[in-house]
Amino acid sequence: MTSIFISSLNCPSCGEVSSFERYDRIDVSKTPQFRTSLIDWELFKFTCSHCGHQIIIDYPTLYVDEENKVIIQYLPSNCSDLGSVSSIKKVAVELDISKYKYRVVTNLEDFVEKVQIFSEGMDDKAIEFMKYLKSPNEDEDIMFSYEHMVFTKEGSVAYQFMFINQKEAVASLNISRELYLESLEEVAEAGDSEYVIDNGWAERFACQG
């Protein structure tokens, strides 16, 4: 089940104390409204009750999706209070985790991206492999520079990769169903022993093949 933990925070703008709800474990099958608030980053937004100032509070949490059979452990790289982390071991008592995909992510953007991919019933390995295939080469002289690509849903049926540079989307690329299915076939042989599925994984996978 979803577990809430109320903490109090000093507003960085006015200095007054407000309460902030943290979710140490998010069970989206039981609390499906959290899926949207996570994808919109609302779940991590702190609003000062005195002056209305808003900031993102990064904290570790465990995301469990029984429907899509996935568990995502979010461990922000800047986080120091790892003592409070809900671990997969606790989940293993209630669920048959051998049937689940398990992922570890260390930044909020990656976390939200994974939630979105799995909520669509899609495969994150296929997505990372597609990013690898679709990332423009240096000699393709694209008209923009970017740091990384992020999977997003556009409207109710279309998917895109957004090219992100300094936290802003500078371009986008539509994802075709055909290419997704091809990538899915490619990554089928990859096995499921790795927890960190990112661009590094995709590069290693591409080099093996």
Element (H, E) at 35: helix 33-39
For residue 125, the minimal CB distance to Zn ion (Å) is 43
Q: Which x/- pattern, by CB under 5 A, does the window 136-175 give for Zn ion?
A: ----------------------------------------
Contacts of 117 (CB under 8 A, 6+ apart): 123, 124, 127, 151
Which C-beta is closer to Zn ion: that of 46 or that of 163? 46
Which residue type, as a one-letter code, is found at position 30?
Answer: K
For residue 48, the minimal CB distance to Zn ion (Å) is 3
For residue 6, the minimal CB distance to Zn ion (Å) is 18
Q: How many CA atoms lie within 13 A of 181 on its CB side?
A: 3
Q: Which pair of tokens denotes residue 150?
A: 């992020």
The neighbour count for residue 63, using CB atoms within 10 Å, is 25
Range 5-64, binding Zn ion (CB under 5 A): 11, 13-14, 48, 50-51, 53
Which C-beta is closer to Zn ion: that of 19 or that of 176? 19
Interface residues toward Zn ion, by CB under 5 A: 11, 13-14, 48, 50-51, 53
